[in-house]
Structure 1
Amino acid sequence: MMNFSLLKDMIFLVFTISNFCTSIGFNIPYVYIPAHAKILGMSKTQGSYLISAIGVANTVGRIILGYIADKPWVNRLLIYNVCLTACGVATTMVPLCTDFNSLLIYCCVFGFTIGAYVGLTSVILVDLLGLDKLTNAFGLLLLFQGIASFIGAPIGGFMFDIKHSYNPAFVMAGLMIAVSGLVMFAIPPMQRYQARKPDPKLNGEQIALS
């Protein structure tokens, strides 16, 4: 059930690093948006509206992105990478959002784009590794996601204790999510390299036959 030999696969390793970075920043908006809004002078009701906006946008994002990704002519990996990068960039800009409307727009963007992370991870795994490796690969992925999710929000809280502001936590979360999307752009060149690389087993058989 825990086949750690998958970590020798560079493509899977890159995907694991990406998921780890995403999971560090994933929970911070959910946990700290209401408190951040309160510091900016907004009411508890407005803070709850922001969380609701993330949830609604996330539901819509999963449905729309899943529908688009199901089309045979669509590059699912590209959608995944672009959404994570955009989500990270938007999160780093939270310090610029100083009123309810701007924070509401951010929450909608975050909720929609992070839907690719939740909705397309298993599909991307199948595309990269094949259906036969999905169970083991997803299990390992969840292990690293769990570790990252466990430490992400406390890191944000530690930053707040030092700076007395949630802005550093959002910047950190945004950078992690953006990096997670950017590193995934390395996978297509890696796939092309592996496709050009000669198969050592095939070469050995050719030598034996000769």
Structure 2
Amino acid sequence: MVDLVDVSHFTDIRFVLFAVSNFLLYSWYHVPYMFLAAKAGEMGLSEDESSNIISYLGIFNTVGEVVLGWAGDQPRLNAGMIYALCMAVCGMMTAVMPLLASYTGLCIVTGGFGLSIAANYSMASIILVELITLERFTNAYGLLLLVQGLANLVGPPLAGWLYDTSGNYDLSFYVAGFFIILCGVLLIILPAMKWTKHWREAKTEVFSAASLKRNGIPQQSSMICEEDGDLKVTSLLTACSGDRNPV
């Protein structure tokens, strides 16, 4: 049972950030699905137009899953950054929905929402594998699904309460947009943390090599240079050049 529910993942700050981001997203992303048709009706749109808007959301969502899934598999693209930007766009699309008064405008914004929210469905597993080892993916993904399920229990009642409190759907859209944007902001931290981790590992390796050199132990490293008999670390990102002799 301990192997099936490995809560040690929550000791990894990167996994915790991703889980919190998913909790915020799954608490509020359902607002357009629940309230957009009713909001369109309040704006004077017909039932056919209201239902068409939801259809466009689904169409663009399907296209987005294919396109963003392909993008996430490209080694030159940063899946985490794409995901974060898509969530930020998704939040902005959600927040501006109640500000629009035309059918065309709602269709465009809804399409943007459907396209950007697709990143969650097609890229979440890719990012999770990057955060943890593939061997631990099953347990981590199970915990992530648990977080998403809890968020789905909390979010809809909160959105409904906001409607009951304010008497209109606008506040629900604004709050949902804010938290989805916050979800994207949290995810932007992940690539930065990954880069910092690699930088620290490289720095440790360089200074370990320097220590070996001082102790008279040969060590190959393109990051350490010997200049005028003194060992100097010039840069972690560039190799030695000029009249310096690489160690």
Q: Could you tell me how far 1:102 is from its partner in structure 2? A: 1.1
Once superposed, what is the RMSD of the aligned Cα atoms?
A: 1.5
Q: Could you tell me how far 1:49 is from its partner in structure 2? A: 0.6
**1:156 alignment partner in structure 2:** 159
Which runs of no fewer than 5 residues in structure 2 stay unpaired?
A: 206-247
3-state SS, counterpart of residue 94 of structure 2: helix
* Superposed CA offset, 1:14-46 (max 9, x none): 000110111111111111111111111112211
TM-score calculated relative to the size of structure 2: 0.77
3-state SS, counterpart of residue 179 of structure 1: helix
Higher strand share: 2
Q: Could you tell me how far 1:62 is from its partner in structure 2? A: 0.4
1:114 and 2:117 are equivalent in the alignment: yes
3-state SS, counterpart of residue 93 of structure 1: helix
**1:202 alignment partner in structure 2:** none
8 Å CA contact 2:129–2:137 kept in 1: the answer is yes
1:34 and 2:32 are equivalent in the alignment: no
1:176 and 2:182 are equivalent in the alignment: no
8 Å CA contact 1:62–1:116 kept in 2: the answer is yes
- CA–CA distance in 1 between the matches of 2:89 and 2:95? 10
**2:80 alignment partner in structure 1:** 77
1:98 and 2:101 are equivalent in the alignment: yes
Higher helix share: 1
8 Å CA contact 2:81–2:191 kept in 1: the answer is no
Greater shift in the superposed pair: 113-122 or 180-189: 180-189
1:192 and 2:180 are equivalent in the alignment: no
* Superposed CA offset, 1:164-195 (max 9, x none): 11111111111111100111111123223434
* Superposed CA offset, 1:41-63 (max 9, x none): 11221111111011000000000
- CA–CA distance in 2 between the matches of 1:130 and 1:174? 32
3-state SS, counterpart of residue 122 of structure 1: helix
Query: AA paired with 1:133?
Result: R
8 Å CA contact 1:76–1:124 kept in 2: the answer is yes
8 Å CA contact 2:93–2:110 kept in 1: the answer is no
Percentage of matched positions with identical amino acids? 35
Query: AA paired with 2:16?
Result: L
**1:67 alignment partner in structure 2:** 70
Greater shift in the superposed pair: 87-96 or 190-199: 190-199
* Superposed CA offset, 1:120-175 (max 9, x none): 00111011112111111111111111111122122111111111111111111111
TM-score calculated relative to the size of structure 1: 0.90
- CA–CA distance in 1 between the matches of 2:179 and 2:47? 28
- 1:10 aligned to which of 10, 13, 22: 13
Of structures 1 and 2, the one scoring higher in RCO (CA 8 A, sep 6+) is: 1
Larger radius of gyration: 2
Count of aligned pairs between the two proteins: 199
Q: Could you tell me how far 1:78 is from its partner in structure 2? A: 1.1
Query: AA paired with 2:137?
Result: L
8 Å CA contact 1:26–1:149 kept in 2: the answer is no
- CA–CA distance in 2 between the matches of 1:35 and 1:4? 41
